[in-house]
Amino acid sequence: MESQHMMFICTTCASVWQGGKRVGVSGGEKLLQQLQELHSHWELHSEFAIQPVECMSACHRSCVISFAANGKFTYLFGDLSPDLSPSEIAGVLECASKYYAHPQGLLPWAERPEPLKKGILAKIPPIPVPMA
């Protein structure tokens, strides 16, 4: 059985704050909305879910997304514009497709589409599966 793949999107990224409260739509929410629009027509939409996250603690590198799945490396990307072009959004989904297809989820720099060639914040190893 294939494990569920997740794309986490920080919805707090690029927020405007007044009086300790967030005002208006954040950059992360804009990015989430753009990804959700193309995601619904993507061939992997049922295998690769999008999950909004309140904060991913990379505020100085916003906007932030992450790819994760059991048994695979987790990638955290930052410095994404909240106003990506449709082709750049398609590039994010193309990169997610490459992540999905690789058994360990590896995303070599040369194989990553724009805009995910830059802004990598972390490549986290998978949690080892205990031996029976």
CATH topology of domain 5-124: Glutaredoxin (3.40.30)
Q: CA nearest 39: which of 49, 25, 29?
A: 49
What is the phi/psi pair of residue 53, to 5°? -130, 135
Confidence of residue 17 (pLDDT cuts 50, 70, 90): confident
Pairing state between β 48-53 and 5-10: parallel
The domain segmentation of the chain, as residue ranges, is: 5-124
Q: How many CA atoms lie within 13 A of 95 on its CB side?
A: 30
User: Which residues are CB-contacts of 23 (< 8 A; sequence separation ≥ 6)?
Assistant: 15, 16, 17
**pTM, two decimal places:** 0.89
User: Higher model confidence: residue 56 or residue 131?
Assistant: 56
